[in-house]
Amino acid sequence: MVNGLLELTEYSLTYQSLKSLKGQIIADFIVDHSMVEESLNFVDVQPWRLYFDSSSHRNGTGVEFFIISPENIPTKFKFRLDKFCSNNEAEYEALIAGLEILLELGAKHVEIKGKSELVVKQLTKEYKCVKENLIIYFVTAKALLKHFDWENIQHVPRIENQEAHDLAQIASGYKISEIKFEELIKIREKLALKKSAPIKLPTAELGGARDLNRNGEIYAKIFAIDNLSDKDWRKPIVEYLQNPTGKSSRKTRYRALSYVIVGNELLKKTPEGVLLKCLNETEEYLAMSSTHSGACGSHQAGHKMKWFLFRQGVYWPSMLKDCIDFTKRCQECQVHAGIQHVPASELHSIVKPWPFGGWALDVIGKIKPGSSGKHKHILVGIDYFTKWVEVIPLREVNQDAVISFIQKHILYRFGIP
CA distance to 6, 301, 337, per residue, from 334 (Å) = 46, 11, 5
Alpha-carbon distance of 54 to 87, in angstroms, equals 7
When mean pLDDT is compared across 31-35, 60-64, 209-213, 396-400, the lowest value belongs to 209-213
Is the model's pLDDT at 331 over the cut of 90? no
Q: What is the DSSP string of 301-319?
A: -HHHHHHHHHHTTEE-TTH
Does residue 18 sit in helix, strand or coil? Answer: coil
Tell me the DSSP string of 370-399. --TT---EEEEEEETTT--EEEEEESS--H
- The pLDDT tens digits for 3-47 are 566 666 666 677 766 666 566 667 777 777 666 555 555 455 688
Long-range CB contacts (< 8 A, 24+ apart) of 121-127? 121/155, 123/153, 124/153, 125/285, 125/329, 126/329, 127/329
Q: With 80 as the cut, is the pLDDT of residue 201 above it?
A: no
134 touches 89 (CB < 8 A): yes
Residue 392 pLDDT: 92
Checking if the pLDDT of 85 tops 80, the result is no
For 94-103, 285-294, 307-316, 344-353, which range has the lowest pLDDT when averaged over its residues?
344-353
Q: Which residues does 228 contact at the CB level (< 8 Å), separation at least 6?
A: 206, 234, 235, 238, 280
Name the pairing type of β-strands 109-114 and 150-155. parallel
Q: Which has more confidence, 62 or 47?
A: 47
pLDDT tens readout for residues 90-128:
888 888 888 888 888 888 888 888 888 888 888 888 887
CB 49 within 8 A of CB 65: no
Q: How far apart are CA 249 and CA 251, in angstroms?
A: 5
pTM: 0.39
CA neighbours closer than 13 Å in the CB half-sphere of residue 7? 4
DSSP-based three-state secondary structure for 226: helix
Amino acid 124: pLDDT: 84
